[in-house]
A and B are shown apart, each in its own frame.
Chain A
Amino acid sequence: MSLTKKILMVSHGHPDFGAGGGELAAYHLHNSVNTHDTFSSTFFARHEQLALQHGGTPFSGTGRPNEILFYSNMPDWFRFSQPDKSKVWRDFREALDICQPDIVHFHHYLHLGLELIREVKNYCEDTPIVLTLHEYLAICHNRGQMIKPIDNSLCSESSPASCSRCFKDYTAQDFMLREQFIKSHFSLVDQFISPSEFLKQRYVNWGIDSEKIRVIDNLIETTQDSSTNSDGALSPTVLRPDAGSGLNRRPVRINFFGQINWFKGVDVLLDAVAKLPAKIRGDIQIGINGSGLSKQPKSLQRDIQNRLDELNDTVTFHGQYQPSELAGLMKDSDWIVVPSKWWENSPMVILEARKFGVPVICSDIGGMAEKVIHQTTGLHFRARSSDALAEQFIIAVQNPETRDRLSNNIRSTYDPLASFNAHTDLYKSLLHIENQDAIAIKNVA
């Protein structure tokens, strides 16, 4: 029995203070790793909760063991540098000295500072560094959306020249310096993880060696949860117990989950509903679950509010939901709709839908198009087109058997442990630990 290998899981946030997809994926992975025999993990999360700070140190705790909170509140949104360098060579170094990790797995660099990656190598040249790329931040200054801020059109490639056209405050030279700075630190990463093939391709085009990026999807729950809940989530029984048939058929339930903002395309969804023929509208129920509307520009808020009022017979706005409610909401859905206007990477909601065997209607671009296969595990519509979405809604309503077919396809291929196993395999290969199978084969030989 060898000692467990220690992984330092570095995240730019803690789910306790707001759950973004990247933080949740990191936290699930951290908790899953701690159920594993070979590995143990310490969660190192950046935060900016002044009230949780102690005097004379950026560190504090959540009360749970193996979780370190790290205070840093001066984000550099352009270069992702840590402006307070003593947080790098003094504070982060102390964390490394105390944790003595065998692997450092970064889930982000924003708010933390890219220099932390370098400090790992300063601490120990041989410690492997893993970095999960959760979006396109390094490539695109527009919050990593790869959407041109000038006209909100989709962008497929960055370059200093084209980026400086998007941002008047920065010159092409600034963008060149930015790229070189980021790549200087990225060059120290031993293994990148991309949750989607699509995102990987964007980073390969940007200049990262394809060999260095492995595609592994995010974890949406801890392995412990998936073994206890999976029977509830993926019951092979009747798919829609209360669906009824013929004239008694209840309306088709389609749910939207996510932040309410321009990128997530709630307006496309509402437009599509408005364009449905009256007869179809009677057979459909749309639920919108998510928060953030109040943080949007007034014009968007008014626009969405007006349309919600017009469509109140078909569309219900449920507002924010707790993670614990998600299972119930998912099981209650016939379809999930993901009408995002940007590329997405590996949207959580698609992974969740997969877990519950619910087919997805989504835009036909980026990570969504990759994760949902048209007519196999869901339906595609032309991104940003409400007409195309309305068309798919009609198909969904008129062909209830399609839903069941797609759902069965999802159930037959879903493996809740796949991405966790892929992570541990990666850790093992980085530490040159042979798999149990390989050892067994060796013994036989």
Chain B
Amino acid sequence: MTNPQPTSQSFKQHCRALVGEKRWRASRRQLFQLRYNLSRFPQITIDTMVTTDPCHVFASGHKLDPYNQIVAVDLWLENGTFVNTEKYFRSYTSGKRKIASELLPNCDQPAFAFHVSIVDTNTTCDKSTSKVNTTVQPCGLRVHLRNGQHRLIRYKRRPAPGHTLATVRNILQRAPVAMPGRRALFNDVFGPAIRSAWSNRSQPDKTGELVRCNEHLRSLNPVVSLIIPIYGRYDFIEHQLAQFINDVDMQRHEILYVIDDPRLNTAIMDSIKMLEKVYKIAFSVLFLESNLGYAGANNSGVQHASADTLLLLNSDVLPVQPGWLQALLALSADHINNSIVGARLIYEDNTIQHNGMQFHASMFADDLWINLHPAKGFPVGLVPASQSLVDCESVTGACLLIKRDHYLAINGLDENYILGDYEDSDLCLKARQHGLRIKMAETVVLYHLERQSQSLVSDQQWKTDLTYYNCWQHSNKWDSTIRQLKSSTVK
């Protein structure tokens, strides 16, 4: 059925037939030339070189060194000093760039990357105060050869400081796609590099401007503050209001939208002035000065929340019937002081989207812990719902009930995850550490038009890479906690 894999000999013959004898001979000459050149000096190209924070440099490139002449590679700084990279230097196959390395020996791992500190190991790097090295830029590599010689390779492009997300993307682009050892590479190089770049981003103003709509209808002692971040699509505001207004219970609560998309501030400001005339229900809108991401937006929203209990809610979550929040509160009454409570979410076709999450070591992601949604896609009727709260490993942040004090005590959602992923299970794990339990209210059902609200990233590879990074970070941070959790539930 399938053809056997061509052997290297038949592959070579195949190529020869394909390109024609004349070109084949010419390319053979080129190959010999390349081999000769490489025997004199191996080829090294620097693809990128960036300072991830004032104290660290990430670099990545390709090398062809068929005769194993390279003994060491140093990072060359502008001030004329060199940093030894030995401990951090990693070679790998990127899988993203095709290199004709099959015809050369010892070139099966042509890509390399490293992330090193450029300050002395004995002086600690304090980003906020230390001014040292902030002006020192890397300018290339120094390659030591076996014969004792060394050469300088200058990185010609200026390392542009640019936007942090662009830096993250630049680094992630160099990361290998699925391969054995990818996780180790993230542990050694890519993970720390991205983390340092991301945590070094300029901290934007998080206060924002709060606008209250239908203020005269506002409950002064709300029971629950609903925190609803908006990014991209904002027609969901009207869809939610149209449902909330038919539910008298919602008058007891505070509805707080957090606009995490400054591009839309003007449009939404115009829109809500109209909405408050039609939908006679109190709601507030917090306009942020810049895009903070899912975690940052929620954390900012919580600063303005006036109720003791918070409900983190996605904008694309719609109640199936009125009284849902009342029901959720009734079920949670005896537990909310020591628990986080999630709700059952369903798709438009009445199948399960979320009924609690489980940690699962995925064989498709190097055994990193991923968040599994059991029974996802199955008709609700086939998945029995318990009348009381049930324990589960974690719940989604798309609809999550938590005491405000608890939320603040565990520092809210972790903003180290990039562009929204894994913050919710991270929050649940932090809560567990804090002694809280995670529970599901399976009889409280809401629609969730999953992923309709976040068309954040159009480039698929970038998205996959980013998910992998967030997943890696989550797994590394919580590995032992999750293992403990798994072993205790097995008993």
Seen from chain A, the residues whose Cβ lies within 8 Å of a Cβ on chain B are 42, 52, 54-69, 78, 86, 94-95, 98-99, 170, 174
B451 touches A61 (CB 8 A): no
Q: Is B349 an interface residue (CB 8 A)?
A: yes
Residues of A within 8 A of B376 (CB): 54, 56-57, 59
A391: shortest Cβ distance to chain B, in Å? 48
Which of B364, B375, B379, B450 has the most A CB atoms < 10 Å from its CB? B379
Given contacts A55-B450, A99-B382, 6 further A-B contacts (CB under 8 A): A54-B353, A56-B373, A64-B379, A65-B379, A68-B377, A95-B378
Shortest Cβ distance from residue A340 to the other chain B in the assembled complex, whole angstroms: 32
Find chain B residues with CB under 8 A from A58 CB.
Answer: 377
Complex: A56 Cα to B364 Cα, angstroms: 13
Q: Which of B1-39 contact A (CB under 8 A)?
A: 1
CB–CB A60/B377 < 8 A: yes
- The CA-CA distance from A67 to B351 in the complex, in Å, is 10
Which residues on B sit within 8 Å (CB–CB) of A63? 349-350
CA distance A284 to B377 in the complex (A): 53
Q: What's the Cα separation between A68 and B382 when bound, in Å?
A: 10
Tell me the bound Cα distance from A241 to B230 in angstroms. 68
CB distance from A99 to the nearest CB of B (A): 6
Alpha-carbon distance A170/B377, docked complex (angstroms): 39
Instruction: Note all chain B residues with C-beta closer than 8 A to A42.
Output: 382
In the complex with contacts A42-B382, A99-B382, A61-B1 CB distance below 8 A:
no
Q: Report whether A98 and B351 are in contact in the complex, using a CB–CB cutoff of 8 Å.
A: no
* Cα separation A209 to B379 with both chains bound (whole Å): 38
Residue of B nearest to A171 (CB): B1
Task: Tell whether, in the assembled complex, residue A59 and residue B351 are in contact, meaning their CB atoms are under 8 Å apart.
Answer: yes
Which residues from chain B sit less than 8 Å from chain A, CB to CB? 1, 347, 349-351, 353, 364, 373-383, 450-451
Report the minimal beta-carbon distance from B432 to chain A, rounded to whole angstroms.
24
Q: Which residues of A contact B382 (CB under 8 A)?
A: 42, 65-66, 68, 98-99
Collect the chain A residues with CB atoms within 8 Å of residue B349's CB. Answer: 52, 60-63
Q: Assess the B451–A55 pair: CB atoms within 8 A.
A: yes
Residues of B within 8 A of A170 (CB): 1
Contact of B450 among A52, A54, A59, A64 (CB under 8 A): A54
Chain A, residue nearest B348 (CB): A63
* Cross-interface CB contact of B381 among A52, A56, A66, A174, cutoff 8 Å: A66
Are A59 and B378 in contact, with the CB atoms below 8 A?
A: yes
Query: Mind listing 25 A-B residue pairs with CB under 8 Å?
Result: A42-B382, A52-B349, A54-B347, A54-B353, A55-B451, A59-B351, A59-B377, A60-B347, A60-B349, A60-B377, A61-B377, A61-B378, A61-B379, A62-B349, A63-B349, A64-B379, A65-B350, A65-B379, A65-B381, A66-B381, A66-B382, A68-B378, A98-B375, A98-B383, A99-B382
Q: A54-B353, A60-B351 are known contacts. Are A98 and B1 too (CB-CB below 8 A)?
A: no
Is A61's CB under 8 angstroms from B351's CB?
A: yes
Chain A residues near B379: list those with CB within 8 A. Answer: 61, 64-68
Pick from B373, B381, B382 the residue with the most CB of A within 10 Å.
B382
Q: Are A78 and B1 in contact (CB under 8 A)?
A: yes
- Across the interface, which residues of A come within 8 angstroms of B383, CB to CB? 98
Specify which chain B residues have a CB less than 8 angstroms from the CB of A65 in the assembled complex.
350, 379-382
**Residue ID in chain A nearest B379 by CB atoms:** A61
Check A54 against B1 for contact (C-beta < 8 Å). no
B350 near A61: Cβ-Cβ < 8 Å: yes
- B contact patch SS: loop
Please measure, in the bound complex, the distance between the C-alpha atom of A52 and the C-alpha atom of B349, giving whole angstroms. Answer: 9
Residue numbers in A under 8 Å from B364 (CB-CB): 86
Q: How far is the CA of A59 from the CA of B451 in the complex (A)?
A: 16
Taking each of A61, A62, A99, which has the highest tally of chain B beta carbons within 10 Å of its own beta carbon?
Answer: A61
Residues from chain A with Cβ under 8 Å of B380 in the complex: 65
CA separation between A59 and B375, bound complex, in Å? Answer: 9
Whole-angstrom distance between the alpha carbons of A61 and B1 in the complex?
36
- Closest residue of chain A to B382 (Cβ to Cβ) is A98
Closest A residue to B370 using CB positions: A56
Task: Report the nearest B residue to A169, measured CB to CB.
Answer: B1
Given the complex of chains A and B, what is the CA–CA distance between A61 and B381 in angstroms?
Answer: 11
In the complex, which residues of chain A have a beta carbon less than 8 angstroms from the beta carbon of B381?
65-66
CA of A37 to CA of B169, assembled, Å: 60
Instruction: Contacts A78-B1, A98-B383, A99-B382 given; indicate if A61 touches B375 (C-beta within 8 A).
Output: no
Which among B1, B347, B375, B451 is the interface contact of A94 at CB below 8 angstroms? B375
When C-beta atoms are compared, the residue in chain B nearest to A173 turns out to be B1
Residues of A within 8 A of B1 (CB): 78, 170, 174
B375 contact set on A, CB distance < 8 A: 94, 98
Chain A minimum-CB-distance residue to B371: A56
Q: How far is the CA of A175 from the CA of B378 in the complex (A)?
A: 38
Expressed in whole angstroms, the minimum distance between the Cβ of A401 and any Cβ of chain B is 54
Q: Which of B349, B374, B375, B451 has the most CB of A within 10 A?
A: B349
Per CB-CB distance, the 9 closest pairs between chain A and chain B, nearest first, are A59-B377, A57-B377, A61-B351, A61-B349, A65-B381, A57-B376, A61-B379, A63-B349, A60-B377
The residue in B373, B378, B381 that gathers the most chain A C-beta atoms within 10 A of its C-beta is: B378
Q: In the complex, which of the residues A52, A66, A94 has the most CB atoms of chain B within 10 Å of its own CB atom?
A: A94
Determine the chain A residues whose CB is within 8 A of the CB of B374 once the complex forms: 94
Q: Which residue of A lies closest to B363 (CB)?
A: A86
Shortest Cβ gap from B375 to chain A (Å): 6
Closest chain A residue to B353, Cβ basis:
A54
Contacts of B451 in A (CB 8 A): 55
A78 to chain B: which residues have CB within 8 Å? 1
Cα(A62)–Cα(B381), bound, Å: 12
The answer for the CA separation of A54 and B449 in the assembled complex, in Å, is 10
In the complex, which residue of chain A has the Cβ closest to the Cβ of B450?
A55
Of B347, B351, B381, most buried by chain A (CB within 10 Å of CB) is B351
CB of B463, distance to nearest CB on chain A (Å)? 12
Separation of A257 and B376 alpha carbons in the complex (Å): 41
> Cα distance A86–B363 when bound, in Å?
11
Complex contacts, A61 vs chain B, CB 8 Å: 347, 349-351, 377-379
Q: Whole-angstrom distance from the CB of B236 to the nearest CB of chain A? A: 18
Q: In the docked arrangement, what's the CA distance between A55 and B375, Å?
A: 13
Bound together, the chains give a CA A62 to CA B349 distance in angstroms of 6
Q: Please give, as numbers and ranges, the residues of chain B lying within 8 Å of A98 by CB-CB distance.
A: 375, 378, 382-383
- Closest residue of chain B to A55, judged by CB? B451
A99's nearest neighbour on chain B, judged by CB, is B382
Q: Which A residues touch B378, using CB under 8 A?
A: 59, 61, 68, 94-95, 98
Separation of A32 and B381 alpha carbons in the complex (Å)? 19
Closest to B373 in A: A56
- Chain A residues in 8 Å Cβ range of B353: 54
A56 vs B450: C-alpha distance when bound (angstroms): 11
- Give Cα distance in the complex from A60 to B383, angstroms: 13
Q: When chains A and B are docked, how far (Å) is the Cα of A174 from the Cα of B3?
A: 13
Establish whether residues B377 and A54, one from each chain, have CB atoms under 8 Å apart when the complex forms. yes
CB distance from B458 to the nearest CB of A (A): 16
Q: Determine how close the nearest CB of chain A comes to the CB of B376; give it in whole angstroms.
A: 4
CA distance A69 to B380 in the complex (A): 13
Q: Which residue of A lies closest to B377 (CB)?
A: A59
**Cα of A54 to Cα of B374 in the assembled complex, Å:** 14
Cβ distance B105 to chain A, nearest Cβ, rounded Å: 36
Name the residue of chain A whose CB is nearest to the CB of B383: A98
- State the Cβ distance, B4 to closest chain A Cβ, in Å: 14
A59 to B378, CA, bound (A): 6
**Across-interface contacts of B347 in A (CB, < 8 A):** 54, 60-61
Cα distance A56–B376 in the bound complex, in angstroms: 8
